[in-house]
């Protein structure tokens, strides 16, 4: 594996040379890791150990995407073949709040 000469990214053996930063054309701003997140990955506290033990579970929780579309009734009314819908525009994560609100608990609410 070789590192990119422009951005230092570690590359796989047959990975395209322009995949990471397009030969230095793309420059990412360095963002500092928030103290709390750094602590979760490096500390030996009970909370940090539990976080690292359950990180795959947390990742799965946040990987769900709710999708909102305007349904094309003509396209969706077909009773033959595979159910199909068409989305126009941007598809994005629509994750409800993770903390309780006045309406009650949310489907993906975390209980701390």
Mark whether 56 and 83 lie in a shared domain.
Answer: no
pLDDT in 10s for each residue of the chain, 112 residues: 678 888 888 888 788 777 888 888 988 788 899 999 999 999 999 999 999 999 988 777 766 656 666 666 776 666 666 666 666 666 665 555 656 667 766 665 555 4
Mark whether 72 and 103 lie in a shared domain.
Answer: yes
What is d(CA 86, CA 71) in angstroms, rounded to the nearest whole number?
7
Mark whether 81 and 99 lie in a shared domain.
Answer: yes
Mark whether 60 and 8 lie in a shared domain.
Answer: yes
Q: What pairs with residue 11 in β-bridges?
A: 2
Q: What is the pTM of this model?
A: 0.42
Structural domains in the chain (count): 2
Mark whether 32 and 83 lie in a shared domain.
Answer: no
Mark whether 59 and 17 lie in a shared domain.
Answer: yes
Full residue range of the structural domain in which residue 38 is found: 2-64
Residues 4-26: b if buried by 16+ CB within 10 A, e if exposed = bebeeeeeeeeeeeeebbeeeee
Choosing from 31, 49, 64, the residue where a domain stops is 64
Distances (CA, A) of 63 to 58, 68, 94, 105: 9, 16, 11, 19
């Amino acid at each position: 594996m070789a590192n990119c000469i422009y951005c230092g990214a570690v590359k796989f053996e047959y990975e395209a040379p322009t995949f990471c930063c397009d030969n230095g054309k793309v420059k990412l701003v360095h963002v500092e890791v928030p103290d709390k997140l750094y602590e979760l990955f490096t500390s030996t506290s009970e909370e940090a150990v539990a976080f690292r033990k359950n990180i795959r579970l947390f990742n799965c929780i946040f990987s769900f995407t709710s999708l909102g579309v305007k349904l094309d009734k003509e396209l969706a009314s077909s009773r033959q073949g595979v159910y199909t819908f068409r989305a126009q525009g941007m598809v994005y994560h629509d994750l409800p709040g993770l903390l309780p609100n006045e309406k009650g608990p949310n489907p993906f609410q975390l209980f701390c």
